Amino acid sequence: MTSITPEDQNGKIRGLLGFISILFLILILRLFYLQITTFADYARESEENRIAQKRIKAPRGLIYARDGEVLARNRAFYTIALERSTRQEYDQATAALQEAIGNIEITSKYSRRHRSLRLIRDVDFRTVSIVEERLKADWPRLDIEIEAQRSYPHGATAAHLLGYMGILQDEKLKKEGGKTYVAGDFIGKTGLEKVFEDSLRGRDGVRFIEVGADGRQRREFPERERPADPGGDLHLTIDLAVQQAAEDALPDSLAGSVVALDPRTGAVLALASKPNFDPNIFVSFQAQEKRQRVLQSQTTLLNRAIQGRYPPGSTLKMISAIAALEEGITDTLSTFEACAGSLQVGDRFFHCLERDGHGELNLIEAMEVSCNIYFHNLAHFLGIDNWQAYADKFGFGQPTGIAMEPEETAGLLPSRAYYQEREGWTLGHLMNLVIGQGAMLVTPIQMARYTAAIGNGGYLVTPYLCGSPAPPHRIEGVSDATLEIVKKSMHRVIHGEKGTGRRVRIEGIEIAGKSGTAQGPRHDDDAWFVAFAPFGVPTIAVVVVVEGGGGGGSVAGPIARQVLQAFFTSEKERRRPSTRRSAAASHPADAWTLR
């Protein structure tokens, strides 16, 4: 048997002590790491478990018409939410909720990623009382939130202009990086609600609440609260009286559009499109069927004012007149071969609206009665390239620059090359183009800018809805003398003995205009009318198109008259001292947190 020497024994003891020292050192370092190095992290986790953060939703900015009428505001509604729950708590709480309230649909599925789940939105006060009095004691994590819902007090008025809002789905959150959106929030989908989403939305705040392990609220920390910053208000150029007159005048049975501009600045006074819709149904939790019908419609959501593409008919004849005057092809006295009701070009016959013909006419007389044959004769001398160049000067075939969502379409301004690339160029194409037919397509907003440019003395304006106007652009190569002749011819359309726009006359107001009846893809012709007034220094330019309406002078003309009448009545009221109340005074119930 081998004996252990004292030296060996001492060595083993020293080794054991060294090992124990190392363990103690590791323990001390670990304690140092936990208590010193990661103290802030654990303190924060403890704080997060103890202190709940609740979002203070920023009220959305209001939208006003130019005289202070509220077009879009907010109203409060109640939502039942479930705070920081497990899957088991979620199932039990929703089951208790359905048993107490009835078989009601739970709108939010369980997700661990969300601190708060909105279970049922826009509930009545009875439901709120049931939750507070009967369920909160057993389910303290159930909470009542006050949310803001968009409200449009004028219903369908200016619906395409304002746009509509929709719920932001969970999978779309990542596309809104940098913005404090939560699944279930409302966000602008179209119109001005989308264009100005960033400024209208505002910045959410937060409040801090101490919550016990049982989920009950202990106390709040008002000193730590960060209030919400309300969204910025939007003040539009829209004249509500003119907008309402435009929408009332458009027939309910036919699609169409009305655009009214201030020719001096491009301010949009009215932008109407029919059929329209009530944007309130997109923010209502009780209007799902109506919302689905609108979304499934192929035409209701189309903003015809900026996206509808139409042949303009005779309302485009001013382009031919301007081009011919500038190129020295005609003047106010020159005439062509008398109109006999038709004109043969090659093997084709082109007809006038007057079957028996208008006889011999000069430019102003031809515009007054809208003689097609006069302009067909003009086309022989004018040529496609000259005509296309002057149409381009007045903005056709290009966007106007209005800020809207969805974006405006550019229309179509055909050139010789356009036809050569397709069926081939013939003089017959120009015969159609000079009277606004053929492949030519325009939008109502383009026609409004073109009409405004004639009325204001040759300046292209950029249509705008809020803020400051863009500087107008002077159209080169079009003289004041030419524009005065064309304006005089448009004046005759309204005030001449044979004028096609006689139905637009308003006593005491000098109006210039032009009717148009365009053959399009529909069975019936589209009815057009363009006008500006007063004749000397115009303050409004109006464009009306009615799909399948028939005669421009008989159908679209009276609509333009109603819009002009509303505008000048509104102007007269505006000049009276203090006739309009402010928005807050008109709606005192809205002068609170949600504004």
Nearest CA to 175 among 190, 187, 193?
Answer: 187
Q: At what angle do helices 557-575 and 240-249 cross, to 10 degrees?
A: 160
| Percent of the chain's residues with pLDDT above 70 | 87
Give the Cβ contact number of residue 135 at 10 Å: 18
Strands 342-345 and 526-533: unpaired
Output the CA–CA distances (angstroms, integers) from residue 150 to 71, 167, 404, in the order listed: 11, 12, 19
What the block records as the tokens of 229 is 């910053």
pLDDT reading at 273 higher than 80: yes
Higher pLDDT, 549 or 82: 549
Give the Cβ contact number of residue 65 at 10 Å: 22
Per-residue confidence (pLDDT) for residue 578, from 0 to 100: 58
β-pair partners for 342: 351
- Provide mean pLDDT across the span 165-191: 73
Write out pLDDT tens, residues 440-478.
999 999 999 999 999 999 999 999 999 999 999 999 999
CA distance 454 to 480: 10
What the block records as the tokens of 136 is 């909160």
Per-residue confidence (pLDDT) for residue 584, from 0 to 100: 41
Per-residue confidence (pLDDT) for residue 583, from 0 to 100: 42
Per-residue confidence (pLDDT) for residue 256, from 0 to 100: 97
> For the chain, what is the mean pLDDT?
86
Residue with tokens 């009780």: 286
Output the CA–CA distances (angstroms, integers) from residue 129 to 30, 119, 126, 133, 580, in the order listed: 52, 16, 5, 6, 41
Nearest CA to 280 among 186, 198, 201?
Answer: 186
Per-residue confidence (pLDDT) for residue 287, from 0 to 100: 81
Output the CA–CA distances (angstroms, integers) from residue 13 to 3, 20, 392, in the order listed: 16, 11, 102
| pTM, rounded to two decimals | 0.84
